[in-house]
Structure 1
């Protein structure tokens, strides 16, 4: 596979190799006036493949398997892998069609192997009887109360494994392994006897398209038809992009971050349908507009069902207070708590939480206080009553992507997966 080099979403553009910046600007991934990268995904360049990991990832710990989990997470989120639906509302995955095509080709190869030509041929008395053909072509002879056919038309199927279409199929799979390697398979592909034994096709891309079109016209099985159509699409796309380019990723990884956490947090409960909605007066009536109502990111409940945690997944740096969410994000959480408390009643304790990407617990909590205190000791802080607090947590992006790709839930009591307690001990 191509060499992998790791970078980070939200890093400064000036920190990247100049030739990589030029290439990404040419491809429209980085705007000319952009000072920070807003991209999470993969770009092929002269050094191999540049993998842009989520912000706050520790690049020194990266391995090809981390790149694999990034691609799997993007695939599941945007293509609806494993779940049958996509959690995302926006079609903002660059290279979505290419990724979907490559996934389908690899899955088909893993399930069925290389293409095998199936040829049906007809004979007489040498195989499976074809009664429809026999009745139409042969003369029956009476025998007692029934008719007898002295000769029957028969049919057999021959399987040809070394044909031009199989060679094209092997070439495409080899190309995918070389181009994507471990980032799409999850394993190093050191050798594959089926691929190694298959010779190269005898023709170029244009002739290969003609071969596949002819094969398609003679195919009748659903799998063969689907495979040949995918091979044609891959060759056509590779011809248009010189065959070696890879560009799969998103400029809006904050959507993926929110979707992954929402799926991976355990004991999630749905309260949005019970939250208040705005009404607008028009003439003599108030008119409900439910689609403009409050919508929390995620709400989970404790094992004993006595507490709710209202969680907002925030794709912020959050290493210092200045790089943390602003007032509008805080106000939303405070209002969500008020609304949630009206739904759950007095028996359930509601707490507020932010979850940021990262491995180090830098910010502990957020409170609203009197202006002018600047930097003050915790025990001297003058709090404004009525707002409450928002607890801060961090989740390692690599841990989350691995869990999400494998369809697993986070262990919220394990500090290596989420720092801080989502259900902290209550004060007596």
Structure 2
């Protein structure tokens, strides 16, 4: 009974401290907020919310210290609950800076708050490492706290990047607004991919599976965002072939995928997961290059076609209509040529690197390109050009058929068999 009373007393004391600390934090901003309005009021409300998160974090560290040093398990339980409140409240509140007009990159109250939250979480990690043997499932708590660090850094990078652009966008309109919005999404994809490399490296070298999985998740978010937003350039008036932000972004994303691929090959101990992920990363690199070549080809012509179509909407002109159709046809023919060359390059790489999945993608892309040429591209050619095009395609298909029959065993060879042959050759 005394033990139960002592536990209840600790819980009640922790609750009382929580209520008092929260009330003091709220009241500290109460008076200034009475005389504030507009952006000043928004700023005070934003700081108040973040300050509450800071106070709760400090309180949770104090409760954890008391619980570990005095050996009071209820204080530890209370510290975990208060820590959760702090992270959820301040972490979620940190995503949107208010008012955005007062935002300064890195030099703002949100960064100060996130740094203190990181420091508080690091303090918890220190305590749990020191007293890990005294508490059941202490290792699980350390893993959770490590994931909290990853999440806080993700919030920091995402919110600062997003609001760094938002601060400039509030005063812009038209094409400049559209261009910065386009660059913001691509920059987020780059930031997330770079961060995923660091998280994955840490998880692999420290053998933290959950952190490694977190790195994979962030990587997927970065690559999917970059791929989807890169399919069209916005606005087209600012497009210049190759020398544009999308081209740079996709190249850097490809480098990031290559770095992740090398990390997995070097550090991964999970053979099945490592094999699956390296295959997925290889296909991802193929997809990034495909989107890069396709989007650059399409937008090169769209940059010329769209102004003509705008003029046609204002006033019909047969010459302009013919020019627009001609450019559209050239666009499709060039795109087919790019795909054809890319599929051949993929086949060469797939044979050289002994990657069956890449060879299968090459075959699929080649077949799709040939189908596109027959069904669509040849339909708008004049009769004479169509005859020569059919003859050229026939020669290409005969050559491909010959090469396929001759090297069928290599093209369709299973990767496991290829790996075994490489290992045998290395052993000899």
State the TM-score, normalizing by the size of structure 1: 0.23
Greater fraction of residues in strand? 1
State the TM-score, normalizing by the size of structure 2: 0.23
Greater RCO, 1 or 2 (C-alpha within 8 Å, sep 6+): 1
Greater fraction of residues in helix? 2
